[in-house]
């Protein structure tokens, strides 16, 4: 680094180097300023733009590579209810009486669809058929949403995107190997959440539906 620039201090030739005259013997009206540390001004050296860029880049944390398991469906809030009550109540409004025949038939049809779809998903996973897995995820997502089975709906929606080699939550493309691993996790969670939802729905109809 270059030494700081210092202000120039004018030097006066000492009187001892020439023959004194009567004029030289008179005291100077304005004696030369003494050279002290406080008379010296240091000019700060400005940092170059490249130095600024270097410091800026070093202070910015590097973006880590996406982790294919960071978005695993197992990270969901398990304390959330298995059924979206607002959606379920809308289904109840379609019933003509307290027998809840319409909503009951719709619910038991959903139970049948889930069992068949889970079996097909397992077969598609074994065959590593991502297109089939995406289609099945899309199908079960719609059925679950119609009845308010929110957790299964969420897992199936992720499965649908993973089948297209896409992680929409992280906004990144994924490999086939990553997709199959993530779909396996989603399917495991969907099955677990479905068991809770099925138990909740059966219990509700047992307590609230009036037999004919």
Q: Is a pLDDT exceeding 50 seen at residue 77? A: yes
| pTM exceeds cut of 0.75 | no
Note the pLDDT tens digit of each residue in 10-69: 444 444 444 444 444 444 444 444 444 444 444 444 444 445 444 444 444 444 444 544
Q: What is the DSSP letter of 67?
A: P
Domain ranges in the chain are 98-208
Q: What is the pLDDT of residue 170?
A: 93
Q: What is the DSSP letter of 81?
A: -
Note the pLDDT tens digit of each residue in 163-210: 999 999 999 999 999 999 999 999 999 999 999 999 999 999 999 988
Q: CA-to-CA distance for 87 and 81, rounded, in angstroms?
A: 13
pLDDT greater at residue 164 or residue 3:
164
For 62-68, the CB contacts below 8 A with 24+ separation are: 66/167, 66/170, 66/172, 68/167, 68/174, 68/175, 68/178, 68/181, 68/182
Report the percent of the chain where pLDDT is more than 70: 63
How would CATH label the architecture of 98-208? Up-down Bundle (1.20)
For the chain, how are helix, strand and coil distributed in percent, rounded to 5? 55, 5, 40
């Amino acid at each position: 680094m270059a030494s700081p620039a210092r202000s120039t201090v004018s030097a006066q030739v000492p009187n001892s180097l020439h023959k004194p005259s009567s004029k030289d013997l008179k005291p100077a009206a304005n004696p030369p300023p003494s050279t002290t540390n406080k008379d010296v001004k240091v000019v700060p050296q400005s940092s170059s733009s490249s130095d600024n860029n270097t410091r800026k880049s070093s202070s910015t944390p590097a973006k880590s590579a996406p982790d294919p398991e960071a978005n695993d469906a197992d990270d969901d809030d398990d304390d959330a209810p298995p059924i979206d009550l607002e959606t379920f109540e809308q289904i109840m409004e379609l019933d003509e009486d307290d027998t809840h025949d319409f909503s009951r038939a719709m619910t038991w049809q959903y139970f049948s669809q889930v069992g068949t779809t889970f079996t097909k998903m397992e077969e598609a996973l074994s065959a590593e058929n991502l297109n089939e897995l995406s289609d099945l995820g899309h199908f079960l997502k719609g059925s679950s949403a119609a009845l308010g089975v929110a957790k299964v709906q969420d897992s199936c929606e992720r499965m649908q995107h993973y089948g297209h080699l896409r992680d929409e939550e992280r906004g990144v493309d994924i490999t086939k190997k990553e997709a199959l691993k993530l779909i396996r996790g989603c399917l495991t969670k969907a099955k677990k959440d479905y068991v809770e939802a099925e138990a909740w729905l059966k219990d509700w109809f047992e307590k609230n539906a009036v037999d004919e």
